[in-house]
Amino acid sequence: MLNWLRPDALAETYRDPVSWAVLAVDLFPIYALIQFGWDATALVFLYWLENLIIGGVTLLRMLAASTNNGPLGVASLAFLGPFFTIHYGMFCFVHGIFLAVFAAAASGGMAEADFMGPLALVGFALSTGEQMGLFVGAIIALQLFLYVRDFLGRGAFREATIQTEMMKPYGRIILLHFALFAGFGLMVAFGQPMIGVLGLILLRALWGVYQSHLRHIQPQRESLNKVDEASPI
């Protein structure tokens, strides 16, 4: 199950320079902690903003996947695109309000968080850490690059379906919740907030390593499938 953590598997994964770029972006918040004095609030809102970015890229993936089925794909996208936008958007909004209330309560401004709209919530998230926009920009650039290189350039969209792509971001949000609780547990256990924050970053980076491994082996799997399909029975 953890074969992707074997040294030989990691060596294969990190032959791709993009895997190193992903790791750098995932560990970049450590620099923010040291250089800009970020705390747990800024970190969790960075990951919340990343969820929004993933949602936007998911819509692009759904759009590309819809081209596989002609008019039927366009009709499916016309229904599932708005549905995903509303459902995933509300999911992220409620999650963001929860984080904002938690942060506001810690600073004694809980009433301010109770009436935040979506745009105000995004603005609040961007204000939680110095140079937050720089980190968000790096995430956007990386996600768009992976979308163009892997999903479009390598033809992965031809094997994708709108429904499958629509469901992918939800697993990431569940993982983020797990990481938040794990980080909070570290803070409680050791009485050191920085340990919990670093634990959250490392858990997020570990997830990034796994995703990089999947990106690395996906072309190999597709090549093997094509060979199997071409082989006589």
In contact, 135 and 127? CB cutoff 8 Å: no
Cα distance between residue 59 and residue 65, in whole Å: 10
pLDDT higher for 49 or 111? 49
Is 199's pLDDT higher than 80? no
pLDDT value of residue 175: 72
DSSP letter (8 states) at residue 130: T
Q: Would you place residue 11 in the very low, low, confident or very high pLDDT band (cuts 50, 70, 90)?
A: confident
pLDDT of residue 5: 77
Mean pLDDT of 109-131: 79
Separation CA 188–CA 126 (nearest Å)? 27
Specify the 3-state DSSP secondary structure of 154: coil
DSSP 3-state assignment of 71?
Answer: helix
Q: Is 68:78 a contact under the CB 8 Å cutoff?
A: no
